[in-house]
Structure 1
Amino acid sequence: MTVPRVPYGVARARTFHTHGVTRGQLRRLVEQGAVRHLRHGWYQTDDADPDVVRAIRLGARLSCLTVLGRSGLWLPPWAGLHIRFPERSRRGNRRPVPAGMHTCTPYGPQSLKDFGAVDPISLALSAAARCTTAEYFVAILDSALRSGQWSLDDLTHVLQHCPGHLRQLLTRTGRADSGTESLVRFRLESCNIAVTPQVEIPSVGRVDLLVGRRLVIEVDSVAHHTGLEAYTRDRERDRTLAALGYERIRLTWQQVIHDWDRVFADIVAIIPRGDHLRTPRLH
């Protein structure tokens, strides 16, 4: 018989049954090698997702940052593979977690409902709140809002069981075109530097961040600022901003993630001089 298609190529026996596969037929599929037995009650097909298979073999589910990344949300560079052990699973039935995999626990009660091999995004977001730093979590929340799949009310509901200081991070979200832009905004605001995101400037268009009246900070993400065309466009914008009297700082992904201390020193060197407060000449 034909092997039914199941999400991620991994499912419980009862999922196969709902596709019309009887216990006897499932046993024969295993004997024929068309379906493999993973662990008690779980099976995989030939097209099974390797990461999901690894999680289920441990008695866990794919969760947290791994699920968010697969949903198209921005991720920290050190994400790795994140899994969650069901609340009702017995520790004695869990296998040791290999290096490079992270065990995550969402805030609040986990539903007794079996979500399958991969957690829903709402549960993954709750787990990520515990698994990341404040600045990276705000970048993830910004990414969720930017995707259009989530509203601020949706995220408020998802984080209802989180501690107050994490729920408060929702007030730190804002408009951003990339995760690195979110990081820069959050870091500057955390140092009491007022930043306005996504400002429209005549003859230039929208810039990432504006400090004061004339310090423009552009944050180049890996995804959107590579290639000759993007490089040329960015330099044309820089030239126009200079002609209008704006101070400009352009940051790369590498500088934001790995060299922030030096970047921040350059930014704060400008602020005491008051250069960022002078009014540019717009035309």
Structure 2
Amino acid sequence: MELGSWLAQHGGVVHSQQAIRAGFTRYAIRQSLAGGECARVRQNWLALPTAPADLRAAAALGGRVACLSVARRHELWNLADGLYHVTVPRNAVVPPAPALRVHWGAGPIPVARFGLVEPIENALVHIAECQPFENALVVWDSALNKKLVTVASLARLPLHSAAARAVRAVATGLADSGLETLPVSRLAASGIRVSQQIMIEGHHVDGLIGDRLVLQTDGFSFHSTAEQRREDIAHDRRLALLGYTVLRYDYRQVLFEWPRVEAEILHALAQGLHRAPAEMRN
């Protein structure tokens, strides 16, 4: 097998010692470098021209892809900041770069010597320390929802970070997207409990406050087709006929118009729209 093909099978960036252990000679490596098949990153890392930019950035610093960069690799819901996040050894000296965010803290999971990507558990700890609480929570919920981690496995990790422990305490993984996590988190700060993914009339609703106030959130990747939209509206009508009040919000409203959204929810609560009729409660 040619070195370039082997590199492609291993992510496009590997340490030269890994190539030698795989059976490639130093002469073969020099020939590949001379022919432009691959290039050196730092002193001992070999990279294809098509290698992912985050791996090249990590190798160039002698570090690992971390934090939100790992979340993007796993396609987790996140409020992206456009930066490359990299962990480096505590004694590393890193020149400032506009698109780079460096993390020096080690996560709870050990990493192989030539590993270029932090485990998801370590990335979640970095995210909790790097991002505002809400931003971190949506990523943790997304990782739990995609079953990359479990509540039980996270509970067993020795987390020395207070920020990570705070996010772990409330992350559930019940939300299908960050748009569902954000209202739950924000309303909880006002003492309002939202039950998530409750089955009503044959469908799960994103959130239920009290007995009768339903919250639904529509993201970019869901509810986007005409057929899905008609199904959502039909379900809203069925809920209305059963005595529920449905408040439905989209991506822009949750992220950029939250004060108005929150005001509407509080007005609905003030009117008692979350309560079942007295005869149904008795």
Shared fold per TM-score greater than 0.5: yes
For 1:169 and 1:237, locate their aligned partners in 2 and report how far apart those are by CA, in whole Å.
Answer: 33
Show the counterpart of 1:49.
52
Residue 27 of structure 1 corresponds to which residue in structure 2? 30
Contact 1:73 / 1:143 at 8 angstroms: preserved in 2? yes
Deviations, residues 160-210 of structure 1 (Å, cap 9, x unaligned): 2222x53143231232121110111111111101211111113x4211101
For residues 213 and 205 of structure 1, what CA distance do their matches in structure 2 show? 16
- Aligned twin of 1:86: 88
Structure 1 residues 157 and 116: alpha-carbon distance in aligned structure 2, compared to 1, 3 A threshold? same
C-alpha distance in structure 1 between counterparts of 2:12 and 2:279, whole Å: 60
* Runs of 5+ consecutive residues of structure 1 not aligned to the other structure: none
Q: Which runs of 4+ in 1 moved over 6 A?
A: none
Residue identity in the other structure for 1:86: V
Q: Measure, in 2, the Cα distance between the counterparts of 1:229 and 1:216.
A: 21
Contact 1:60/1:84 (<8 A) preserved = yes
Question: 1:130 and 1:267 mapped to 2: Cα distance?
Answer: 31
Greater mean alpha carbon deviation, residues 100-109 or residues 231-240 = 100-109
Structure 1 match to 2:142:
143
Residues 155, 9 of structure 1: CA spacing in aligned structure 2 closer, same or farther, 3 A cutoff? same
Question: What fraction of aligned residue pairs are identical, expressed as a percent?
Answer: 31
Q: Measure the CA separation in 1 of the matches of 2:190 and 2:99.
A: 33
Question: Residue 115 and residue 277 in structure 1: after superposition, are their counterparts in 2 closer, same or farther (change >3 A)?
Answer: farther
With over 3 angstroms needed to count, the CA separation of the structure-2 counterparts of 1:111 and 1:273, relative to structure 1, is same
The answer as to 2:118 corresponding to 1:119 is: yes
- The residue correspondences of 1:166-205 to structure 2 (distance < 5 A) are 166-174=164-172, 175-202=174-201, 204-205=202-203
Q: What's the secondary structure of 1:161's corresponding residue?
A: coil
Distance in 1 (CA, whole Å) between partners of 2:267 and 2:103 is 40
Aligned residues between the structures: 276
Alignment partners' CA distance in 1, 2:124 and 2:115: 17
2:131 maps to 1:132: yes
**How large is the RMSD of aligned CA atoms in angstroms?**
2.4
Against the structure 1 CA distance between its residues 157 and 14, is the aligned structure 2 distance closer, same or farther, given a 3 Å change threshold?
Answer: farther
User: Contact 2:64–2:116 at 8 Å: present in 1 too?
Assistant: yes
Stretch of structure 1 that moved more, 215-224 or 143-152: 143-152
CA distance in 2, matches of 1:135, 1:100: 22
Determine if the alignment matches structure 1 residue 243 to structure 2 residue 241.
yes
Residue 95 of structure 1 corresponds to 95
Matched, 1:276 2:274: yes
State the Cα distance separating 1:7 from its structure 2 match: 2.8
TM-score normalised according to structure 1 size? 0.88
Q: Which runs of 5+ in 2 are unaligned?
A: none
| Residues in 2 aligned to 1:146 and 1:112: alpha-carbon distance in whole angstroms | 24
Deviation, 1:83, is 2.2
Aligned residue for 1:210, secondary structure, equals strand
Query: What secondary structure is seen at the aligned counterpart in 2 of 1:68?
Result: helix
**Does the CA contact (< 8 Å) of 2:12 and 2:48 recur in 1?**
yes
